[in-house]
Every structure is written in C-alpha cells, then in structure tokens.
Chains A and B, each alone.
Chain A
Amino acid sequence: MSNVTRRGFLGLTSAAALGAGLSACTGGGTSTGAGATQAASNNLRLFTYEDDSTIGLLKAQVKKFDEQNGTTTTVDSLPGSGAAVYPDKLRTELLGGKGPDVWRIWGGQIGAPFAKAKQSLDLSPYYSKYGWDSKINTTAIGGMTFEGVKSGVPFISLGIGAWYNKSLFAKAGVSAAPTTYAELEAVNDKLVAVGVTPCGLGGKYGWDIMRLFEYLLEHTAGPELHDKLLTGAESWDRPEVVEAFTLFKKWQDKKWLPQGALALDPSDVEPWYVQGKTAYTITGPWTEAGAILAAKKSSSAFGNFELPTDKTPARHSGFVEGYMINARTGNADKAAALIDFIVQPATQKAMNVTASTVKGAEPDPKTLPLAAEWAQKYGGNPFYTIQDQAFPKKQADQYFSVQSDLLQGSVKPDAAAKKMQEIVSAWAKS
C-alpha cells in the first residue's frame, strides 16, 4: 500500500510538472487560432506601439472620432519594444481570442504572417469604399499588400538616414554633410581624431546595426542588384557582397562604431548623438520628436542627410507602417471608419506624423523642422526595403548572426557572403 501511494504521488507530481512546463508553451485555452467572430458593439480597441511623445496625440484624435461616431475606443500601447517584441504580444492577444479590432504594424515580412494566417481582414472593399487607392501613396500600399491581398492601410512611409550633432561635426572641422561615400569615411576619420565616436548603433536584436550594412550593400551593389539580392533572385556569394561585408568590418575596426556595439541596446544608443556621445546615428524622422525634442534640445543643433551611395538613383532604406483590422472583429465597418479618420490629412497633421503616406499631410516645419527638411529633400527619393522587413524573422535573425560573427572576426567577408547565400536561397526555395 505504501509503495502504491508513493508511486501514485510520484506519477501525479510528474504529470503536474509536465503540465506546468508544457502549459507555459501554449498558454491556457488557445488552440488553433480559429476563434469565432466577436459580437458587434460600439466598443473598439486599437493596439499600437506609440511612445510617450505621440500616444497623447493619437488618443486625442481617437477621442474626436469617438465623439463623432458614438463609439468608445480603447487605445493600448506597447512602446519601445520594436519589431522584436510587439508582434509577439499581438499574436498572443489574437490567439487568446480577445485581439484588438485594429492594430498598428510594420509592413513587409513583419506584417505578412498576420495576413498569411488570415488573422487580418482583406481590406479591398474598404479601399473601394473610402477611395484609399487614390489618397495613399501607391508604393506604400504595396508594402502592406500580401499575395495580392490588401491587408493593411499604410499611413506612414519612413526613410532612414544619418541624423547628426552639428556641434560635434564642427568640433571635427566638418562644415558640410558628406555627399560621397569617400567623404563619409573622411568625416569618420576626422571625428575619431578628435575623440568622438562617429556612428552610434547597437547590435542587440540585430536590426539597428543592420542599417549600416544595408547601406553599405546599396553602396557596393547598387539599386538593381540590391533589390535582386533581397528577393533571392541573385546570389549573395559575389564580390559586391564581400566588399560590403569588408567595409562593415572596417567600420568597427576603425572605431567608427561604439566599442562593443554588438551588445548595445538600440534604445540606449540612438539618443547618444543628442547627448553628445556619438556624432550621428542612422535612423528615421521619428528621432526628432523621440530623441531631440524629448531631451528639450533645439532642432537647430542637429541635422540630417541621406547616406551617400554613389549610385543612381540615390536611394535610402525605408519601410511602411500601417493599420490592420482583425478578421474576427464584429466591428469591421467601424474599425475601417476609424482608420479612414486616422488617414485624413488633418488627423495626420494633428498627430505630427513625420512621413505620412497621405498627400497634404506633410510635416509642419514649425514643429518638426528637421523631419520637414528630410521630407522635402529626400522624401521623394526611392527607397529599398529595410532588410528586417525584406526577410522573415527567422532568416533576419540568421542574417544578424552572420553580421555578429563577422564583426567578432570569427568569419571572413567571403565566408559571410557564402553563408548569406545559404540563408537566402533556403528561404527563397521554401
């Protein structure tokens, strides 16, 4: 009897441990994500990743929409998490059966899984109803169209460039932004000579330091080849890619990047150019509100320029962000009306959107002079898809791993190019 009791207890506790371990994986109550359509109501929920500098503006506009339409919209935000974490939270909410009615998401391969899994609604009928095709930038719509299905409404199309601290450039004797790659390297040397780290990028998560490599690849490969590389149409095992990796390593070896950049958190490093710890960073117009104005600094102390590629046409890295509607919402019409309200030029202006996809919603030079300057000078230039949107997350992480190995010296540029070809060709075949 005693033995039986022990065994029984052992079995029960083992089963409990097994249950505890495995239940941590699926989460309670989730199965295949094929939940029922939610009931219609006047309550909407919008999920986003706005930070403190913009969430108040969004909430104010949503309140205005609610007043006009008799709805009650809750705005939830997960700020500062970036594309590494936010999609996980969204996915968990959707599988939990209580997903938001509307959510903000990046385009490309970050938004694609939600469309592929049919978690997001096909918005084609609403494109017709509200005439979004004629109001919103066509290229941007393409960034949220997956397998021919318009799954999102892009409201922002952001370009990545160099944002710099004028006083540190002056300290190094640099009076004008570089217009060629050689000039950029010369600027870096001058900055290092006066004890200033040129380019502030952080390698934790991989996507921030990637912005440098993709620029170098645009410089060495040029627009046509770069685009083909991103789709797997051309092999990465080629001299242009090897040269880009060689330059990438050079930037670290010549101390043009912060010491130990691979471990640095982008959210820590990006504001360093504002704090005077680095001369510039590679980022988008959101940095004016998020880093410069948030630090109570004057925009006039900073500047921006498109990283010179020496290629025609001159391009910069870019990506789109927009809104999707939950395929199981019971409030699709109201959700679409909310999106239409948000993409109105007046709303976009009120929200201080720095790079709106909507005509007539250009940034206000009085409140965001640098963002306006960027839009005016470079906003019309074509862009290549930022690489963490060009590749699915798994392949992007493998690519970041190659970057890491290269910067640590454990692989050579030619081996890195070969490895990238293995990664991209395996994905392209799948």
Chain B
Amino acid sequence: MATTVALTKPKRGGRWSPWLFALPALIVYVGFLVYPAVSSLWFSLTNWDGLSATYKFVGLDNYLKMPSDPVVVTAVKNNLIWTVVTIAVPTVIGLLLAIALNGKVHGKPVLRLIFYTPAVLPLVSIASIWGWLYNPQYGAINSFLRLIGLDGLAQAWLGQDSTALWAVMVPAIWLRTGFPMLLYLAALQSIPNELYEAATVDGATKWQQFWNVTMPSLRPAHYIVLALSLIDSFKVFDMIYAMTYGGPGTSTQVMGTWMYFNVFQYYQAGYGTAIAVVITLVAIAVGIPYVRSQTKEAS
C-alpha cells in the first residue's frame, strides 16, 4: 500500500529531484562542453586570428571557402583512406587473432599481452619508434630490406607523397589491433559451446560453423568495434602530427591536423574552427547509428 502511494502521489517538488542530482554534472557539462562549443560555433563565423581582442563577423565565408582550399580536398581524401584502412585491417586482424587465441594455444596470456601492449603505449613514443624504423639510411626497415637483397624496395617511406600516408598507417594498425582483438575474444568466449556441438552433430564443417554460428554471435561486437573505430579514425591527429607533421608538403594532412595548423599556427582561428565544426558534425553523423543502437538496447 505504501509503495502504491509513493508511486502515484510523489511528494511536492519531487519531479525536480532528478535535476538536482544532475545539477553538479550539468554545471560541468555546460561550463566545459556547451559553452566552448557555442563559442567555437560563433568563432567559425568570424575572422578571428586567435590572438587579437577584436574580430569581424564574416557569416558563412569560412565554410564557403573550404571546397576551394586544395589542402582541405587532400585532407578529406586522406581522412577517407585512413578511415577505411585503419578500420578494416585492424578489425580483420583482431578477429583472426581473437579466434586463434580462443583456441587451444600455448601461452595465451603472454600472447594477449603482446598483442595488446601497443594499444597502451603513448602515441608520441610510437611515432618516435616508427620514425626511427623508417629512417631511410639507418632505419631497421631499409636495413633489413638491403640485408635480404631487396635494395630496390628500400626507400624514403615518410619522405615521399606516394608512401608517407601508408607508412603512417602501419603503426596505426599495429597499435589499434589489440582493441578489437580483446572485444572479439570476450565475445567469442560468451558463445555457448552447445551451439558448436549441435552444428557438429548436424554435419557442419569448421568453415560453415564460423559463418553460421560464430559470425552471427559476434554481431554486437562487430557493431561496437566498427562504430568506435569509425569515430576514432575520423578524428586522427596525433600520429600524423608526430610522424610527418602533415608532410611532405601537405600530402599527409588530414582534417584534424589542418584544423590545428590554421587555428594554432596560421592565426586563422575562424577558418580553423569552421574545419573543427565540420569534423565534429561528420563524427556525429557517423556515430548516430551507434548511439541509436545503444539507446534501443537500453530501452
């Protein structure tokens, strides 16, 4: 009886209670996210140089000049290539490693540690390590190629437009494989063994079991891996900045680095902020399916 009363007749002012509990977090949210976001939107409509006390409102000029900026075109293309490659390759390798580690393999804990370790290394350290490996004259990669007689393949990996972006993607793949591997491994371990036993009784081969039992069971994991990787890939900045600084020339610029260059180096904060707005809108657009799926599950 008491419970029924509590549900149907809340105390006076009780409907505000959730807001009171949320208030501390909301204050932080508004102060550190909403206010800077609105400021950024405003600055993207100005010609602010990022240093001066004054600026002019220029409407949508910053957005309108983006398509005619050749570096933006290069950056968008690089972002697309980066996104496709750094999602597809680590996901496939991560899945294969997870399947291998889910079987009867000796030294599983050590192997898991080895495969996941790159993911916890600081990105700047990774960039330095790979920068040395790629050194054209003294780097291990070219030295190895020369050692095995493939001198013709030894080249300036980071020093030419044709290979620089791909060369940066290799360490990105190396460090990002551990994350999908862990997720897939957890998902694989949750698949009931009875499903495989039933499939075996029905005469299914290992290949058929993979496609008809394993893959459907991994669907939620696929979704999480793909959605998070997609968002992560699109906002790439650190690896490019640390390894090539957007070069040679502007050949490895991506939207994140080009935003940084404009805001922080060229004193074109208005234009750079407009680039940031575009990056954010695209990231939201690709993230919406993931958020929808999560809210559906929650409801």
A193 within 8 A of B: no
Chain A residue contacts of B267, Cβ below 8 A: 113, 117, 392-393
Which of chain B's residues have a CB closer than 8 A to the CB of A27?
Answer: 36
Chain A CB within 8 A of B273 CB: yes
Asked if residues A113 and B247 are in contact (CB atoms below 8 Å), the reply is no
B49 touches A113 (CB 8 A): yes
A116 at the interface (CB under 8 A from B): yes
Q: Tell me, yes or no, whether A71 is within 8 Å of chain B by CB.
A: no
- Distance A87 CA – B52 CA, assembled complex (angstroms): 15
The residues in A between 10 and 63 inclusive whose CB is less than 8 angstroms from any CB of B are 10, 13-34
Tell whether, in the assembled complex, residue A25 and residue B33 are in contact, meaning their CB atoms are under 8 Å apart.
no
Complex-state Cα separation, A117 to B51, whole angstroms:
6
Contact with B along A231-273 (1 / 0, CB 8 A): 0000000000000000000000000001111111100100000
A264 to B156 CA separation, bound complex (whole angstroms) = 9
Chain B residue with the shortest CB-CB distance to A24: B276
- What chain A residues lie within 8 Å of B279 (beta carbons)? 21
Q: Could you say which residues of chain B place their CB within 8 Å of the CB of A393?
A: 265-267
By a CB distance below 8 angstroms, the chain B residues around A268 are: 135
B40 touches A84 (CB 8 A): no
A/B pair count, beta carbons within 8 Å: 190
Which residue of the partner chain, among B34, B43, B136, contacts A259 with CB atoms under 8 Å?
A: B136
B292 touches A6 (CB 8 A): yes
Structural contact, B36 and A6, CB atoms closer than 8 A: no
Q: Give the nearest-CB partner of B51 in chain A.
A: A117
User: Interface readout for B33-51 with A: 1 if CB under 8 Å, 0 if not?
Assistant: 1101101110100001111
Bound together, the chains give a CA A33 to CA B259 distance in angstroms of 19
The main secondary structure of chain A at its interface with chain B is helix
B137 and A22 form a contact (CB under 8 A): no
What sequence of 0s and 1s flags, for each residue 265-291 of chain B, a beta carbon within 8 Å of any chain A beta carbon? Answer: 111100011001101110110011001
**Option from B32, B48, B51, B281 in Cβ contact (under 8 Å) with A91:** B51
Are A25 and B263 in touch, CB under 8 angstroms?
yes
B248 within 8 A of A: yes
**Contact yes or no, A22 B277, CB < 8 A:** yes
Which chain B residues have a beta carbon within 8 Å of chain A's beta carbons?
Answer: 29, 31-34, 36-37, 39-41, 43, 48-55, 131, 134-138, 155-161, 164, 235, 244-245, 247-251, 259, 261, 263-268, 272-273, 276-277, 279-281, 283-284, 287-288, 291-292, 295-296, 298-299
* Seed contacts A88-B265, A260-B157; 13 additional CB < 8 Å A-B pairs: A10-B291, A19-B33, A25-B263, A26-B43, A26-B273, A27-B36, A32-B48, A87-B265, A91-B264, A258-B136, A262-B156, A263-B136, A393-B267
